[in-house]
Every structure is written in structure tokens, then in C-alpha cells.
Amino acid sequence: MISLQVKRNKDRFEFDVDANATVDDVFSSIEEKTNALKRTMKLIVNGKTLTAFDDGKKIFAEVVKKKGSKVTAMLLDGAPLVGGGGSTSAGAAMASSVAEKRRKEAKEKMMAQKDERAKERKSKGVESSYNANNKSFNWEKTGICSSQNSGLDALPTSALEAIRESAKVKVFDFSLNAIALVPNSIITLPALQNVTRVSLCNNVIESAGIDFKVLFESLRFLKYLDLSNNNLIGAMDVVNSLPSEDEDKEKSKRPPLQLKISNNKITSFPSSFFKSCPPLERFDASGNQISESIEHYFVGSETTLAHINLANNFRINAIPNAFRNMKSLQSLILDGNKIDKKGIPAVVLRECDRLSELSLKQNQVTIEELRELDGWDAYNERRVSRADKILDAKTMLGDASFREGADAERYTRDF
């Protein structure tokens, strides 16, 4: 038997440990005598730090290398020990019961307050917790119209409508809420017409909950739109009449858009979507369910689009020949799809003369097949040049900096 004395600050207690007891058994004994949870404990014995997770299966006597003697240990990170020295199991159990009762009462109180606030919102409207005038004043003053992670299930209409038309709001950020609908009446507010950045990520916006045509037509200075992690499902179709010559000219003058619409359940982007949206600079639709040919994608953005991410759609099987016309394209991320060597056009490798990052991780093509492709040498020259610039600049390398030129063994391991 080992006599174990455990100290924490000024508190201490003792108990006997069987010679064959594991470290996990010791932590269980401590847990019974204190309010501390086993997973939060660290025990320092003879300069060694023990945890139930890392050392639980080890024999305690072997770890401390003492048998039949007294061992002193320091307890860290647990809850305060109950009582003074030599506190009894009955006292510890009573204190644990009291603590559990208090936790339960606190949780019930919190839930009651939450229900009360919900009833208040229902009776007075979703904006009962909003002081519309104060919000509007702050938004006007800063030019940032934002309420992240506020538990909203709808946009605060009154506060937004109270913003004066003369305000120069640039940022519209209501991410990390539970908003399902973006009304056209909000998008078309005069005070928001100069907005350049819209973030509505991590909400529950559905396909019918946002009108892309109205959004793109109204926010003519928009440079960044984030709708990732929502409930957008199916085809992102846009009811669109044929653009006039004046509308085409107006569209060409607009700033390029960075569009992030990843991690939804989108199956397709019809041509009407790209005809409606401004010229694109960056397009991220990774983590969706796109299963169609992407031949018609990015019409109107051939000279502006620099970065495309369609990773983890799992069903895209080819890079379109039309991508050869994308003279600004620098990176094309297609990890996690079904592309084989037949789906990689040589003309894209040769003629996209700025393309220096092509990522095909978890597809159906090997590094040997890539190297045999017509056009690979031209692409690889750009890839190596890009890597050299990164090294010369002493920039930290991203995951994909050298992946396409890796040796076969590394390609197999990483891909």
C-alpha cells in the first residue's frame, strides 16, 4: 500500500492506494473526495505531471517508483477541495450534492430567463431587445452595420430603416445568427446602397430567402459577399431578363466581387446566375453538391477571376476547355472530386498563363499521369516560378505551395 497525501493550495487530504492501482484509479478516488472532474485534473508527483487521459492505464506505484511508503502529490486544475485536511467522504459527497443542486438551479434560472426573453420578442416583435435609435446612430457613426452572434432570427428591420439616407454604411455583417430571410426591402434601403462588404455566413438562409438579382442590382459597389454555412439548396437560379447593352457596360464598370458561398447544399449555378452577378475576382463554392458540368460557369468574369475553389463537391469530373479563356486565373482548387486525367485539358494548362496553383487532391489522377499530360511542362514552369518567389520573399508556405510537383511517394501520402 502507498499512503498518498494530495495538496491543493492550503487544502490537503490523505488516503491509501493499493500497490496494483492504476493512475486512473487514483484520479477516481480523488474525484470521489472533491468537486474536481477527472478530466480536468493534473497530479504532480516527484516532478512528473500525470493526467487520467495520458497516464490512466499505468500502475501508480510504478510511475512514482515507490511501494509501501508515503507519497505527496500536488493537484492542479481541479475544483477546490472540499473542507480542510482529512475531509471525509460523507462531507465531500454532501458538498458535491450542494454544488450539483446549485448548478441545476442556475441552469433552470437561465432557461427561465431565456423563455421570458423569447416571449417578450414574440409579443413585442423580434427587435424588443434593440434600441433602434441607438443602433442606428452607432451604425451611421461608424459606417459598420453589424450585429454578429446576437441570437437574431430576423434582421432588425426598425433599426435598419431608421438609418438616415445620408449615412455612408460600408459594412453589413449579421453573421453567426439564425436569420432565414433577407427581405428585398432591406437590400434596397437607400442607406445601404454604398455597402461594399456583406457577411451573412453561419445563418439559416434558404434559397427562397434571398433574391440574388435584387441584391446584385442594388448593391453596385459590392466587393465581398459571404453566404457560407447556410441552407441554400438546389439550383441558384435567377429570374433574369436579357441584359441591355447599357446594362452590360454598367456591369463592366463595377468592382470585381469576392463571392463565398461554401458549405451549403447547392447542386448547380445556372448561367442566369453568372449573367446577373458582377464580374468575379474570387469564387468559393467548396463543400456543396455540384454535380453538373461547369462548362458555362464564370461567363463575364474571364478577365477578372483569379481564384476558384470548387473543392469537396465530390461529383465534378472535368475542367472545362472554356477555362482556357481565363487570363487572370491564378489558382484552381478542385480537391475532393472525380476528375481523372481525361478531365484535365491540355489547353488550360498551356494557355492559362497565370495559373500557378492547380490542386487535385483526392481525385482520380496520379502524379505520374499529371506529368505525362500535354501542357504540364508549361504549367509546371509557372508553378516552380511561384514557389521560388514565395521562398525569396521568405513567406510561410501554404498547404498547396508545392503539392503538384511533389514526388510520387509524397503525392500518394498527401493525396
pLDDT in tens, 27-47: 788 777 766 676 677 777 777
pLDDT computed for residue 103 by the predictor: 67
- Please answer whether residues 268 and 290 qualify as being in contact, where contact means their C-beta atoms are separated by less than 8 angstroms: yes
Q: How much is the average pLDDT of 101-115? A: 70
Amino acid at 29: S
Residue appearing with cell numbers 448561367? 271
Spatial separation of the C-alpha atoms in residues 256 and 326, rounded to whole Å: 14
pLDDT computed for residue 395 by the predictor: 54
308 vs 20 pLDDT, higher one: 308
364 vs 245 pLDDT, higher one: 364
165 vs 231 pLDDT, higher one: 231
Residue 349 predicted with pLDDT over 50: yes
- Please answer whether residues 345 and 321 qualify as being in contact, where contact means their C-beta atoms are separated by less than 8 angstroms: yes
Residue 361 predicted with pLDDT over 70: yes
Lowest mean pLDDT among 5-14, 44-53, 78-87, 221-230: 78-87
β-bridge mates for residue 317, sequence order: none
pLDDT computed for residue 401 by the predictor: 46
pLDDT computed for residue 120 by the predictor: 63
| 89-124 and 23-33 helices, crossing angle to 10° | 70
Q: How much is the average pLDDT of 384-389? A: 81
pLDDT computed for residue 108 by the predictor: 74
Question: Tens digits of per-residue pLDDT, 258-270?
Answer: 999 999 999 999 9
119 vs 274 pLDDT, higher one: 274
pLDDT computed for residue 69 by the predictor: 64
pLDDT computed for residue 388 by the predictor: 77
Q: What are phi and psi of 39, to 5 degrees?
A: -70, -15
Residue 344 predicted with pLDDT over 60: yes
Q: How much is the average pLDDT of 188-203? A: 96
Lowest mean pLDDT among 206-215, 244-253, 361-370: 244-253
pLDDT computed for residue 84 by the predictor: 37
179 vs 41 pLDDT, higher one: 179
294 vs 91 pLDDT, higher one: 294
pLDDT computed for residue 91 by the predictor: 46
Question: Tens digits of per-residue pLDDT, 363-379?
Answer: 999 989 999 999 999 99
Lowest mean pLDDT among 17-26, 62-71, 171-180, 222-231: 62-71
Question: Tens digits of per-residue pLDDT, 287-299?
Answer: 999 988 999 999 9
pTM: 0.65
pLDDT computed for residue 372 by the predictor: 92
Reported as a pLDDT band with limits 50, 70 and 90, residue 240 is low
Computed over every residue of the chain, the mean pLDDT equals: 81
242 vs 249 pLDDT, higher one: 249
Residue 86 predicted with pLDDT over 50: no
Lowest mean pLDDT among 23-27, 113-117, 170-174, 313-317: 113-117
pLDDT computed for residue 49 by the predictor: 79
Spatial separation of the C-alpha atoms in residues 323 and 186, rounded to whole Å: 36
pLDDT computed for residue 405 by the predictor: 46
pLDDT computed for residue 307 by the predictor: 97
Reported as a pLDDT band with limits 50, 70 and 90, residue 325 is very high
